[in-house]
Amino acid sequence: MEHIGSCNPWAVAWDLVTLRPIQKGGCPRFFLIFKGNLLGEPHGFSATNTPQTPPLDVLRTAIHALDAWYLDYVASLGQAEGEAVLSFHFVDGDRGQMSREEMLLHLVTHGGYHRGAIGRILVQCGITPPRDTLTTFLHRSEPGRRGG
């Protein structure tokens, strides 16, 4: 689970610079919902998106705070805690169960889904999207891995 947390700030930084101005708001809400689920606390939301897109500076501040929380949270988890299955409520009121590891993986893959969708839109607009892959992240954050 080490790279789950370490990928998030890089991806979020890329998102903020290139995508967030054209993406619907609510990203912090998604992460707040799962923060509540991970802690076993009610998240208090009945929808995954906000009625209005918050200003970029508000999103940036919220995302940085959530990134810090998630990085600390992931760093503090032991294997047994990560594998523990938690019960929670979806925003529509239905019940669900997932392990902490599954929830964290969902956050990562869900973000990748949105970045991929926006990448397709950028291409359709004639804009070359930045390289947004795990290999690019690893080579930038750990240049020593380029040696063979």
Spatial separation of the C-alpha atoms in residues 12 and 58, rounded to whole Å? 14
Residue 65, pLDDT above cutoff 60: yes
| Number of residues that this document lists for the chain | 148
- β partners of residue 89: 95
Per-residue pLDDT, 35: 92
- pLDDT tens column, 15-39: 444 444 333 344 577 888 899 999 9
Question: pTM for this one?
Answer: 0.69
Amino acid symbol at 87: S
- pLDDT tens column, 92-101: 989 999 999 9
Crossing angle, helix 2-18 and helix 134-141, to 10 degrees?
100
29, two tokens? 């809400």
- Of 101, 92, 87, 133, give the one whose Cα is nearest residue 2: 101
